[in-house]
Amino acid sequence: MRLAIVSTISPLSSAAVAGPGPRADDKKPASTDDSHDHIIVGGGTAGNALATRLSQGLARARILVIEAGPAALDDLDINCPGKRGSTLGGKYDWNLTITPQPGIKNRVMTVNRGKVLGGTSALNVMVWDRAASKEYDSWEDVGNKGWNWKSMISAMNKAENVGGRNSDLYTGSAGGKGPVHAVINRNHPEHENAWIPTVQALGVPANTESLGYRCDVSAELDRPYTLKQPTRRITARKEVILSAGAIQSPNLLELSGVGQQPVLSAAGIPQIVDLPGVGENYQDHVRVAISYQLEDGLTSGDRLRYDPEFAASEFAKWVNGEMSWHDGVRGGIAFANFKQILPGGDDTALRSLAYDAIGGSHSPLDKKKLQFLDDASIPQVELIFSDGYTGLQGYPAVGSPLYGKNSLSFIAGLMHPLSRGSVHVNPANPAGNPIIDPRYLDNEHDVQALIGAVKFCPEIARTEPRKSALLSEYDPGLETVQTDEQWEEFVRSTMLSICHPSNTYAMLPEKDGGVVGEELKVHGTTNLRVVDASVIPVQISAHIQTAVYGIAERAAEMIISDDSATALASQW
Ligand SMILES: Cc1cc2nc3c(=O)[nH]c(=O)nc-3n(C[C@H](O)[C@H](O)[C@H](O)COP(=O)(O)OP(=O)(O)OC[C@H]3O[C@@H](n4cnc5c(N)ncnc54)[C@H](O)[C@@H]3O)c2cc1C
């Protein structure tokens, strides 16, 4: 089936063209011919990486990227690493909202998504890491031939380029010569030195392959132009590729008539392809933070918040290319399994809760989650040490006793929560924002697993050399959170997202609720692929942009190979 895609974009949208025909640096398209070989909807992380590779590999093809947000290539709020977080909730953010979540005391929260050329890679906090090899292998196990560690590490390496001003600090073995520049921070506050020896003392070996630097993917495109006519029909000669991200790609498909009948009928959309999996399987990483005040004399990134002169002079240094507190993302990450963090290494109760929740499920995704519990090489928990305050309440207000103090936070995250949610078109307003229901903490396993993870943070704080740098715990405050009930209350009241929605368009066989197959083509269609975080079939224990780049690299290889095969066939 050949499909027409319904994409509503705003007058500020940007577009970029590569290949013959109008060039991306034109002020506007030179021709009125609105047909292109490949149309990519969404100029974000995956979309732009894919467009770059297609324009390199298909010299004669005309490729169009349509992006709902503006181009902001020179905006220092995006480009300066020390300003990470400053664009959240602002003009480059879709600012979506979830439905009230019973598991977290009916709280609602914002779902931050980049609405700018570069997408969420322009807004994120720049962690660059990978999951365990068996997690990528699990993608093949659930029915996607060729999607495994070997192919993914090769694709992720193809995207990345480890180097820059301090590449000598990198002790890892990975990394290629790709367009995404990744570096280890060169600016380290003194108190950061305690992180690696402390987690080593707790049994987690060191791994210095984690990198972080702002290199959003928009920088790889030719200069884009702003669309002058937001309403017009554009035709794809070969195929349309949805790269609008894990929230909007399913939404666009439903608007186009692909999805489950009840959802489409409620929104008054005629069904063209029956695919019950569209928008299902919403997965996210969840987290809780504890903050500590640092010993007097130690400085943290909080100083950029409470000392404007310091912030301005550090920013000026960064602009001049000098070592600066604005240089990077200060912090460290450790991954662990439940046995490593639970008292006495006893994960029996948690395993039993997991089997209660999904033991009877026939879904290959649930079966994988249970298998992962048996594999010590697969992390279940992420422990982040973050320089400065990162809790729910925000840095203490001006005038409060803690204003002007320096802090650090420990963040505990769940890598394989069992809850699975959904994102669907809004029946009351199909053209508006989708209904996002992640079903956070909707089962006892996830609640107890998160409690177990966050209780390990005070353990880190009590261990030397970390212990000596800390003055007191002030969020949540040991005196108020002691009993099991209090920990549960704390976790349900303060849980936040790590902002990794994925799987909403899972690459799986159709019989298992899949939406795309191993070639990333939407089941039941011939001219439509999806290339973004939504196709991830099994959730991974990593920040997911590295995988998204890898998916885009693999998609580009497939599309280029398909095109070459077609061209060859047409010569005969
Ligand atoms: C606050 C935050 C911090 C994060 N930190 C990290 C981190 O440190 N490390 C990490 O690995 N990951 C991180 N992530 C996650 C990671 O950045 C994303 O998972 C990844 O960038 C998603 O890539 P994508 O291509 O799927 O979607 P996106 O990059 O979001 O791209 C989708 C694009 O499609 C556009 N679009 C949507 N609808 C339409 C439409 N109708 N028409 C045209 N265009 C449209 C959007 O504007 C956007 O540009 C973070 C995410 C957030 C929100």
467: which 2 tokens? Answer: 């212990």
Put residue 268 in one of left, alpha, beta given phi > 0 → left and psi -120 to 50 → alpha. left
154: which 2 tokens? Answer: 């090769």
pLDDT number for residue 84 = 87
pLDDT-based confidence at 12, cuts 50/70/90?
very low
Say whether 429 counts as a known binding-site residue. no
410-463: pLDDT as tens digits: 999 999 999 999 999 999 999 999 999 999 999 999 999 999 999 999 889 888
25 within 8 A of 81, measured Cβ to Cβ: no
Q: Is the CB of 55 inside a 6 Å radius of any atom of ligand 1?
A: no
281-292: pLDDT as tens digits: 999 999 999 988
50: which 2 tokens? Answer: 């894919």
pLDDT number for residue 143 = 97
Rounded average pLDDT over 52-61: 92
The Cα 268–Cα 256 span in angstroms is 11
38 is catalytic: no
The Cα 354–Cα 356 span in angstroms is 5
Query: Given a cut of 90, is residue 97 above it in pLDDT?
Result: yes
pLDDT number for residue 169 = 55
pLDDT number for residue 137 = 98
The Cα 507–Cα 50 span in angstroms is 18
Q: Could you give the ipTM of this predicted complex? A: 0.99
Which domains, from first to last, does the chain contain? 1-160+214-283+502-572 (3.50.50.60), 183-213+286-414+442-494 (3.30.560.10)
pLDDT number for residue 219 = 46
271: which 2 tokens? Answer: 């069904």
pLDDT number for residue 572 = 56
Q: Is the CB of 501 inside a 6 Å radius of any atom of ligand 1?
A: no
Query: Given a cut of 90, is residue 37 above it in pLDDT?
Result: yes
143-162: pLDDT as tens digits: 999 999 999 999 998 998 87
Query: Given a cut of 90, is residue 468 above it in pLDDT?
Result: no
The helix, strand and coil proportions of the chain, stated in percent and rounded to the nearest 5, come to 35, 20, 50
pLDDT number for residue 571 = 59
pLDDT number for residue 1 = 44
| HEC-encoded secondary structure of 459-500 | HHHHCCCCHHHEEEEEECCCCCCCCHHHHHHHHHHHCEECCC
pLDDT number for residue 90 = 96
pLDDT-based confidence at 216, cuts 50/70/90?
low
281 within 8 A of 249, measured Cβ to Cβ: no
293: which 2 tokens? Answer: 């005040």
Q: Which of 34-48, 97-111, 319-333 has the lowest mean pLDDT?
A: 319-333
At 19, which helix (H) or strand (E)?
A: none
Rounded average pLDDT over 58-85: 91
pLDDT number for residue 194 = 84
Query: Given a cut of 70, is residue 570 above it in pLDDT?
Result: no
Query: Given a cut of 70, is residue 222 above it in pLDDT?
Result: no
Residue 129: closest CA among 187, 208, 243, 47: 208
pLDDT number for residue 180 = 85
- Average pLDDT along the chain: 87
Q: How far is CA 308 from the centre of its chain?
A: 31
Rounded average pLDDT over 58-72: 92
Place of tokens 């640092």: 294
Say whether 124 counts as a known binding-site residue. yes
pLDDT number for residue 234 = 86
Nearest-atom number in ligand 1 for the CA of 119 is 49
Q: Is the CB of 113 inside a 6 Å radius of any atom of ligand 1?
A: yes
Catalytic residue among 36, 285, 500, 523: 500
